[in-house]
Amino acid sequence: MDKNLRLDYFVAISQLKSQLAYPLVATDLLGKKLSVWLRDYLDSLGVKERPIIADSAIVAPTAHIEGPVFIGAEAVVEPFAYIKGPAYIGPKTEVRHTAYIRGDVYAGSHCVIGHATEVKASVFFDGAKAGHFAYVGDSILGREVNLGAGTKLANLKFRGDEVKVKHPETGEIISTGLRKLGAICGDSVQIGCNAVLGPGALLAPETAVLPCNYFKGTLTKGLFGSASQRT
């Protein structure tokens, strides 16, 4: 069995609206490799050091956009949002009031980066949403993932050493080579309000963490949370 974390275990690549050359390994969309991949894609779109904004995009006058940023067709950037490149904001994606995008962020189509939400060095695949007061650092959100209000994806261990993960198919503990790694959430994962995912959390498609829980590790099926929350 391959020790790598296959991206297609978490995300149905064939269902994405934009058929880019996505890496085969999920961790190749994190850290320095994400930065290189994103820069190459922006360069292919003609984005250098200044933003390119589609004519049909709606960007509030008080939004601040700097550096190599692409804003796609019919995307919406609300007042006082701050987008720092490199970043790609896909078609019909919403960057809401006071959102903070700190660079190395790819958001596909129909995503939501919500009010007072901070995102850095992360990937939102089509339809992924972090609608309210979330922190998403060094993470991958699959298609139609939803983070409830106040969700935090922690990306750094107290000791600051390498984040290791439990392989969802083999159960083996594997090295990622990453000091910062938040969570990898597969397609249609649901995270309840005020939940926290510890560094290196892996969630298989269609799993869920119930509200106000702390989860660290690998969830391959079902729900994580107390039995009392499931009634």
Rounded to the nearest 5 degrees, what angle is found at the Cα of 107, between the Cα atoms of 180 and 77? 115
Q: What is the per-residue pLDDT across 169-215, written as a single tens digit (0 to 9) for each?
A: 999 999 999 999 999 999 999 999 999 999 999 999 999 999 999 99
pTM: 0.96
- pLDDT tens digit sequence for 173-185: 999 999 999 999 9
pLDDT-derived band at 229 (thresholds 50, 70, 90) equals: low
pLDDT (tens digit per residue) in 22-33? 999 999 999 999
Tell me what the mean pLDDT of segment 44-67 comes to: 97
pLDDT confidence of residue 231: 53
pLDDT tens profile 82-121:
999 999 999 999 999 999 999 999 999 999 999 999 999 9
d(CA 202, CA 188): 13
Which among 64, 97, 110, 132 is annotated as catalytic? 132
Q: Which domains does the chain have, with CATH numbers?
A: 7-230 (2.160.10.10)
Share of the chain above pLDDT 90, in %: 94
Active site annotation includes 64: no
Q: Give the full edge-to-edge strand order of the sheet including 52-53.
A: 52-53, 69-71, 87-89, 105-107, 122-124, 140-141, 183-185, 201-203, 218-219
What pLDDT score does 228 carry?
Answer: 55
**Can you spell out the DSSP letters for 147-207?**
EPTT-EE--B-TT---EEEE-TTT--EEEEEESB--EEE-TT-EE-TT-EE-TTEEE-TT-
Is the pLDDT at 230 greater than 80, yes or no?
no
pLDDT of residue 18: 83
Residue 227 has pLDDT above 60, yes or no: no
Among the residue ranges 6-15, 18-27, 55-64, 136-145, the one predicted with the least confidence is 18-27
Cis status, amide bond into 51, omega within 30 of 0: no
H or E element, residue 58: strand 58-59
- Say what the pLDDT of residue 1 is: 36
Terminus-to-terminus CA distance in the chain, angstroms?
Answer: 38
For 133, other C-beta atoms within 10 Å of its C-beta total 19
**Mean of pLDDT values over 224-230:** 70
